């Protein structure tokens, strides 16, 4: 597996990471035994950059990853997040970036994970009324205390990233980015490159849409959040499917799957981008890992760019509730 720098830390991680969220919530039922095997498969494939958060499964995801880390801590670079506060059984959320909450959330994550220090600690979302300088200063105290190695931000604007970076070096920024979600290309990616900040691209397969296997929501579990996601509603889904048909043809000509081609596009286009596709199945981890061996030419990357013009994508990324705290 190719290695890539993690910010300006001198540390390297696998070019592809693993998003662990779906092992606990949002994409149907969970199976801890299967998920633990998937984590092991990821390591076997050379994937050692794992991503979780305290809100995923209301702590379950950190506990699950923590079980795996008991025997593999030295092999994994672990990222987790704080800031989204929810009640169990509800999607509604509030954002809390207060210094007191940050300190409490970090200690709780350390307990669930069963570790002494978090490698990369993200502010999951920004609290609109709170200056980012205050949030990052509180996070920096965790570094001083030895509880966190490096700091990250999720779903923030380029301007906020610059302000945060002046308070304490930001190692990574996490935002949704894929052929289907191209917003970071306007300014954010360039700012990360300028500041030496790694860009962790979550949902690089468009929540499985770019795999070409999801043609309706009928087969999804009743609790699957895509049933209510604007991009997966009937009219939007039909419009968006036309985009994936072209991707499938392109991938077939390269003897690859659409998912592999979508990941190869990200890896080939930006050296400072680390896609973190999420899955709870070992077979998909193996398939995704193979994408790191695909080399696309500049012409092929440009062709894929043209296949997915941002204005052709139908629907917002989230519901209004899910959009809270994005892009601040």
Q: Can you say how many angstroms the Cα of residue 213 is from the centroid of all Cα atoms in its chain?
A: 21
Integer Cα distance of 22 and 24 in angstroms: 5
Q: Which residues contact 50 (CB under 8 A, 6 or more apart)?
A: 17, 18, 20, 39, 42, 65, 76, 77, 78, 79
Q: In 3D, which of 180, 164, 327 has the Cα closest to residue 172?
A: 164
56 part of the active site: yes
Q: Out of 27, 56, 122, 177, which one is annotated catalytic?
A: 56
The pair of structure tokens assigned to 124 is: 């999951």
DSSP letter string, 206-256: TTTGGGT----STTS-TT-GGGT-GGGSHHHHHHHHHHHHHHHHHHHHTTS
DSSP letter, residue 26: S
Q: Three-state SS for 77?
A: strand
User: CB–CB of 295/123 below 8 Å?
Assistant: no
Q: What residues are labeled active site?
A: 56
């Amino acid at each position: 597996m190719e290695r890539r720098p993690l910010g300006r830390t001198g540390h390297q991680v696998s070019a592809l990471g693993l998003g662990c969220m779906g092992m606990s919530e949002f994409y149907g039922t969970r199976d801890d035994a299967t998920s633990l095997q998937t984590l092991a498969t990821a390591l076997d494939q050379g994937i050692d950059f794992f991503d979780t958060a305290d809100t995923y499964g209301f702590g379950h995801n950190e506990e699950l990853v923590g079980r795996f880390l008991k025997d593999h801590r030295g092999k994994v670079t672990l990222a987790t997040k704080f800031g989204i506060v929810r009640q169990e059984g509800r999607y509604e959320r509030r954002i809390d970036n207060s210094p007191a909450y940050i300190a409490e959330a970090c200690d709780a994550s350390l307990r669930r994970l069963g570790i002494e220090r978090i490698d990369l600690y993200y502010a999951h979302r920004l609290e609109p009324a709170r200056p980012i300088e205050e949030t990052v200063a509180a996070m920096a105290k965790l570094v001083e205390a030895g509880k966190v190695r490096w700091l990250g931000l999720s779903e923030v604007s380029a301007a906020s990233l610059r302000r945060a970076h002046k308070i304490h070096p930001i190692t990574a920024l996490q935002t949704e980015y894929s052929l289907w979600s191209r917003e970071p290309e306007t300014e954010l990616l360039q700012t990360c490159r300028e500041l030496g900040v790694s860009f962790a691209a979550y949902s690089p397969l468009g929540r499985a849409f770019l795999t070409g296997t999801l043609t309706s929501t009928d087969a999804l579990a009743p609790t699957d959040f895509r049933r209510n996601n604007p991009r997966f509603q009937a009219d939007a889904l039909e419009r968006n499917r036309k985009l994936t048909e072209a991707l499938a043809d392109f991938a077939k000509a390269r003897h690859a799957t659409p998912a592999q081609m979508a990941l190869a596009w990200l890896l080939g286009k930006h050296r400072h981008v680390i896609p973190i596709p999420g899955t709870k199945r070992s077979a998909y981890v193996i398939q995704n890992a193979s994408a790191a061996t695909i080399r696309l030419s500049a012409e092929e990357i440009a062709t894929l760019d043209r296949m997915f013009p941002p204005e052709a994508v139908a629907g917002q990324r989230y519901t209004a509730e899910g959009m809270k705290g994005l892009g601040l």
